[in-house]
Amino acid sequence: MILRTEHKIYGLVLSLFLSGCNLTQEVSETAELNNVSAQVININKGWQFTKSEQDIKFDTLPTQSWDDVDLPHTPKIEPMVVNDQWQGFSWYKKEIDIPKHWQKKKLIIRFEGAMNAANLWVNGENIASHLGGYLPFVADITDHVEYGKTNHIFVKLDNRDNYITGPKPLELLDFNTYGGLYRGATLHVKNSVFITDEILADEIASGGIFVSYPEITNDKAIVAIQTHIENSEFSAQTIDVVQNLMFEGQLVESTTQTITLDANSQKTVKQTVSVINPKLWHPNNPNLYSLETEIKNQQHSLEKQQTRIGIRSFAFNDKHELLINGEKIFLRGVNRHQEYPHVGYALSPQADYRDAVKIKSAGFDYVRLSHYPHSKDFIKAADELGLVLVDAILGWQYFSPFPEFQEQIVQTCRDMIRRDRNHASIMAWECSLNESWMPPYFTKKLNDAVHSEYPGSYSAGWQTDFDIFFQARQHRLQHYDEPSQPYNVSEYGDWEYYAQNAGLSQDSWADLKSEERTSRQLLSHGEKRLLQQARNIQEAHNDNLKYPAHADGYWVMFDYNRGYADDLESSGVMSLFRLPKYSYYFYQSQRAPEIRSTDYQSGPMVFIASEWTEQSSIPVRVYSNAEEVELWLNGRLVSRNKPTINKLSDELSHPPFEFDLNKFIAGELVAKAYINGVQVAEHTVKTPKTVTQVNLRLDKSGVAPTAGVKDIVFIYAQLKDDAGTTVPLNHEKVVFEVSGDIQFIESTSRTTEQGIAAGLLQMGNDLTDAKIRVSYPAKNITSKWVRILDL
């Protein structure tokens, strides 16, 4: 049996995640509430874990050798370069006290990510299984628990290669799939009349709560809400279904419908609310409403769910141009893998949010979630920040004729849509196996799944059988001239420079391309090669703009590990540790200066792409979204330039600026950017001198480190001279030390890239006394102890 699952009540789930409360605390604090209202309880804390390379029968599980862990969890802390990812069997167990007064409740347990084949035991009974590690695993445990007693939960995971779920075996795969209960878990306690789980209901275009928008204009919008409700009582029940639509805490509109449900029956309740002068969702203005859905009888509120929605429309005109709310737009985008160093997929909600902030700050308005469903936390962040998404099922260069495989893929498509359909950010559903040729009968099944689950939405895939055609420019080099359907450049900028359009046998071409011409450049490769990466990207992006695409997606945002290779795939515009390369600032310069937000870096910008040393490039390249830039050297004006326009930049919104300095002169470069004759931005680069200090910086992109939720945060040690200039030394050893309730993940001995050594910290339950310091042995320099809360 394959148990299908769905994520719901997301706002409540995330708030409980952030609270870090355990089951016992929640029960004791809300005993009165438990008698009436449904609730979602965080069960991330207090698990035990063990793993083995060989399978273990349930009745022979060891009684010892279990580690105490909290979720999210990964089976192994991996090295920075993962060339032997752990695969095998993982066991998790937990004791849960079930109060006696829950006997008439419906109990559902949810695991948001369980990699990859999962089995669940409750009190020694194997009650459910699930295939697929990227969508939730949920089970109804109502009839399997003992009330008023301690109950024993066991989960077994198998993350070995699987021919039913695909994709390629790990030794041939272009990314790592990791393992474990790597997302959060919750216990849903419901009444006998309840809002169903979207996937367990197994209702096409129904189940749970489904919000759509049959009419959207600037003057008026219709919000259509379907609520699927089940009555598990042996008698008919009459209830009210109430919808309250809020914006920034103020009630906008509400509606109530009274229904009667027969005994042991289900019903879909359809309601609409009208919104006058709606605040529409757009990448530049991501307005979000809060929809509160409540079911209640005459005596009590039985259940409430909060759904964050954005009123918006995606459509294409007869030229296949994308319209958001009727307004034409080109989406500048990027692909993202959800991997972090060392912990793989085991991210906190805060870590996902920080990734989204970095992507938006880099100048992107669109993300392709390659090549699998990413977490709800990242999608929620995209809703809030204004990132348009394409949601993708798992798939990469693997198609199987086995019926089990094809059924699994189609059902995964349905499950993904049911999980994510209410999110404002999602433009299309990539229910397609990436770079895997699929026969027409199979692509038809996938298309039918998309259109039946979400009527009026768009399918996407790398074959023309789908509504939106995803062509990876980097595998073809040629764009078609007269598209007969909407066209998205799904990947570009990496493979065409790396492998000379070598096709799709990626694992066969490891050393094909010259290191100085490829876009795969680590931070430690230095200025010349980082400039080459940025030039490659500029050329490819400029070329995309000459063709009738509505969006493009650079490959890739962050460096990542590959199952088949012994090195990092380093074509990211940021490193694995989320440090920016020069290409990051190229993209940032392509965003219009008038777009401003307090949630991410925006507005006018200027950046000098140089370390300004004797080895630095002449001329100097400057990225800016201003009209003119002045470059000053040691207080003297070099020149005031307009953008440099040539065949590599003639389609760009904001071409780079180039300044010919003839020769290197040590000192200070200052770039001043102007719009309408007014200076709007400035950037300074100084010739670095000898290292005299080491400074610490904590990544707080959009959200500060959070205690009690197993938050993980990047820490950076910067080698600096007396003037505070980062000295761009590579492969220099620094050593971190921590104190208090924080943990340094993997080795505390790190090496620098461009003068910065990066590590990963796990936050504990109390950060009050958590401190960190760093030493640079080569110069016998040690920083002072610094409180995490003060960084």
What letter does residue 648 receive in the DSSP assignment?
A: T
Strand order in the sheet with 301-309: 250-261, 237-247, 289-296, 301-309
**Strand bridging mode 458-461 / 468-472:** parallel
pLDDT at residue 411 is higher than 50: yes
What letter does residue 502 receive in the DSSP assignment?
A: -
Name 438's Cβ contacts closer than 8 Å, sequence gap at least 6: 399, 432, 446, 463, 465
Q: Which two tokens stand for residue 286?
A: 């991501």
Model confidence band, residue 512 (pLDDT cutoffs 50, 70, 90): low
* Residue 28, pLDDT score: 36
pLDDT at residue 639 is higher than 80: yes
Region 258-270: what's the mean pLDDT? 96
* Residue 515, pLDDT score: 84
Q: pLDDT exceeding 90 applies to what percent of the chain? A: 87
* Residue 19, pLDDT score: 38
Model confidence band, residue 638 (pLDDT cutoffs 50, 70, 90): very high
* Residue 202, pLDDT score: 84
Any bridge partners for residue 167, and if so which? Answer: none
* Residue 243, pLDDT score: 98
* Residue 27, pLDDT score: 39
pLDDT at residue 131 is higher than 50: yes
* Residue 31, pLDDT score: 37
Mean pLDDT of the chain: 93
Mean pLDDT is lowest, of 215-229, 405-419, 514-528, for 514-528
Of the two residues 17 and 605, the one the predictor is more confident about is: 605
Mean pLDDT is lowest, of 463-467, 510-514, 740-744, 757-761, for 510-514
pLDDT at residue 2 is higher than 50: no
Region 360-368: what's the mean pLDDT? 98
pLDDT at residue 7 is higher than 80: no
Q: Which domains are seen in the chain, by residue range? A: 10-192 (2.60.120.260), 209-309 (2.60.40.10), 319-568 (3.20.20.80), 606-686 (2.60.40.10), 693-790 (2.60.40.10)
Region 745-753: what's the mean pLDDT? 97
Q: pLDDT exceeding 70 applies to what percent of the chain? A: 93
* Residue 482, pLDDT score: 67
Model confidence band, residue 26 (pLDDT cutoffs 50, 70, 90): very low
Model confidence band, residue 44 (pLDDT cutoffs 50, 70, 90): very high
Model confidence band, residue 642 (pLDDT cutoffs 50, 70, 90): very high
Q: Which two tokens stand for residue 608?
A: 């000098």
Q: Give residue 776's Cα distance to chain centre.
A: 34
- 3-class secondary-structure state, position 439: coil
Identify the burial level of 688 via C-beta atoms within 10 angstroms of its C-beta, where 0-12 means exposed, 13-18 middle and 19 or more buried: buried
